[in-house]
Amino acid sequence: MALERTFSIIKPDATKRNLTGAIAKKFEDAGLRIVASKRIHLSKAQAGEFYKVHAERPFYDELCEFMASAPIVCQVLEGENAIAKNREVMGATNPADAEAGTIRAEFAESVGENSVHGSDAPETAAEEIAYFFSGLELVG
């Protein structure tokens, strides 16, 4: 399979606890290359736009507040089968269900404050990368 790219966010709960490096190491140890990386602080409106697919869910407002509560680190990860590999390294959405050794099993605090975001399909990966990065910022 050709190299694939996926979009990742290290979320506020993790940046606040100084876990950026520990999480990046998990990606690199899994064979994912960080080809773009930046630390930003989203407004609640920007968080709402990013997560608009969840607008009707009961946790949407809380999710947007959380995502705007502290800086995040946005990254593009590249590798063979990067989308699925990243989801594997992240672990299940609810850390209580996440496999041992995954980022969420080790670091997540709750289903809402679960340390990382990762794209779920090629279309969303392409959209999310384009939302946060220009082509010039992707350095393979």
Site residues (CB under 6 A) for ligand DAT?
54, 59, 63, 93, 111-112, 114, 117, 120
CB atoms near residue 90 (< 10 Å): 23
Nearest CB to ligand DAT, comparing residues 121 and 138 = 121
Cβ atoms 89, 26 nearer than 8 A? yes
**What span, in angstroms and rounded, lies between the C-alpha atoms of 47 and 61?**
10
What's the min distance (Å) between Cβ of 139 and Mg ion? 26
Q: Which is nearer to Mg ion, 65 or 120 (CB)?
A: 120
Nearer to ligand DAT, 127 or 137 (CB): 127
CB atoms within 10 A of CB 55: 12
Tokens describing residue 14: 């993790």
Site for Mg ion in 71-110 (CB under 5 A): none
User: Taking CB within 5 to 8 Å according to partner kind, which of Mg ion, ligand DAT, none is near residue 63?
Assistant: ligand DAT
The nearest distance, CB 136 to ligand DAT, in angstroms, is 28
d(CA 38, CA 68): 15
User: Is 41 noted as a catalytic residue in this protein?
Assistant: no
The residue sitting closest to Mg ion, measured at its beta carbon, is 120
Between strands 3-10 and 116-118, the pairing is antiparallel
Q: For the chain, where are the alpha helices, taking DSSP H only? A: 12-16, 20-29, 44-50, 60-67, 82-90, 103-107, 122-132
Active-site position among 5, 26, 85, 117: 117
114 annotated among ligand-binding-site residues: yes
**Residue 59 assigned as binding residue:** yes
Residue positions in the annotated binding site for ATP?
A: 11, 59, 87, 93, 104, 114
Active site residues: 117
